[in-house]
Structures are given as structure tokens and as C-alpha cells.
Amino acid sequence: MKPIPILLFLLILVQLQFCIAQKTPKIEDYSKGELEIKVTPFGLENPIHVGKITADGSIHFNWNNDISSIKDPEFFMSTIKNTVGMTFCNDKEIDQNNEDAKSLNSNDLFLYKDGQQVGALMAGTEKGIEDNKGSNRSASLILGSTISWVYADSDVIFNGKCSVNFEQENVYNFKEVTRYSLHLKKGWNMILNTLVEKEDWKNGTELGSLPKTMTKTSITEIPNTMNWYLNYWAE
């Protein structure tokens, strides 16, 4: 048997990795039947269909970039800086190639059945990581990543750094630093939000933690490390 040429071997390897990257996300032990996935960044009265969960728990996304049915969509949009959370920086660095670009964020994926909202779908590398979004800092944060979706009205490259000073006497004194590396196309884009490092604090008997180092990066494929969690509140 002739040895496989090195170039052919590399091509096979690339194709294999591409196939693995295209693995369909799935909810384990799923039993809720087929559900629609919608987002509501333009208001609850304007839900946008972006995919579905099939009866076996497989998640199929179909993000439609056409928002012509939305009345005055620019009313809901803001600058890229504000959309990604660079509003209250003590120090900031921004490198943006399209200053006129506007956008909006959609963190939540809602589930619908027969036109009624029945739950939500969350993606995270660790179970419970969605609780990081809350204002309660009396429990330890979980390191890892989540996904959010950003709609941009035009192509834009946005790189930045935001530093926020946090200080409470005898409890903590540190800088929260977030770095941004975003290549947004007109339409919907995926953003990987990663908590890299946290600042643990203690105040008497009270313990907690705050974000210390974070990154927000554009991605084009859902990472295989992402797990999917269902919050179903309908009876």
C-alpha cells in the first residue's frame, strides 16, 4: 500500500476538523417536543424567528438578516461602543474602522410553542454560568464562556480595551479589564463572551467575587465546548 502524500493527508485532516466544527448543538435528555427559537431585541411585540429545537433536542439556527418588517429599527440601535458595554470605562482604547455603524445586542434566546413564550435557551461552557449576569455578587463567579448575538447595520471592525476601577475599603481594590476583538458583518453576528479571571473578596463573614478579566470576540461557529441549557416555565 502506497503511503498517503503529506498534502493529501493535511487536506483530509482539515476537512475532518471542519466537519467536527459543524456538529449540530443538542440538549441532552430533552422531552418538550418541537419549539421555535426567537429573539426580541426590537421589543416583545416584534419577536424574530431564528431557529427551532426538534423533538430529539437538536438545535437548528436560521438567523435571517432581513429586518425590513421592523418599524424604525434604528430606534433600538446604538453605537458599537455602547452595545458591547464600553459605557462606563475609567480608561478606554478604541480602534474602529466604521464610526457610523450601529448595532444592538440580543443575549436571550426565547422558546415559543403555539405562539406563546414557554422558556429560554442558554449556552455556556459551564453549568450555572448564566448566573454571572446577575447583580448578586455574594456567590463565586464561574469562569468560562457564553454566547451573545449582535445585529450590525453595516460591516465594522472594532478592537478595544475598557478598564473600570473597583474599590471598597478593606475589601477590594482592582481594575476590571475587558478586551474586544470584533469583526462584525452586516446582519447577525456571534460574540464569545469569556470570563478569564475573577476577583474574590471577603467582608467579615460575607464572601463573593467580581469580574476581573474578560474578553469579547467574534466567532463564526459555535464552539464544541459549549453546552446548552433549557429553562422551561410552561406547565
pLDDT of amino acid 9? 46
pLDDT of amino acid 20? 36
Model-wide pTM > 0.75: yes
Question: Quick check: 103 and 77 in contact, CB under 8 A?
Answer: yes
Confirm whether 136 is domain-assigned: yes
Confirm whether 37 is domain-assigned: yes
The total number of structural domains that make up the chain: 1
Confirm whether 121 is domain-assigned: yes
pLDDT averaged over 10-residue windows placed end to end, the chain, 235 residues: 52 40 78 95 92 96 91 94 93 96 93 95 88 64 94 97 94 96 97 95 88 96 92 87
Domain that holds residue 97: 25-232
Closest CA to 113 of 37, 47, 25, 46: 37
Confirm whether 94 is domain-assigned: yes
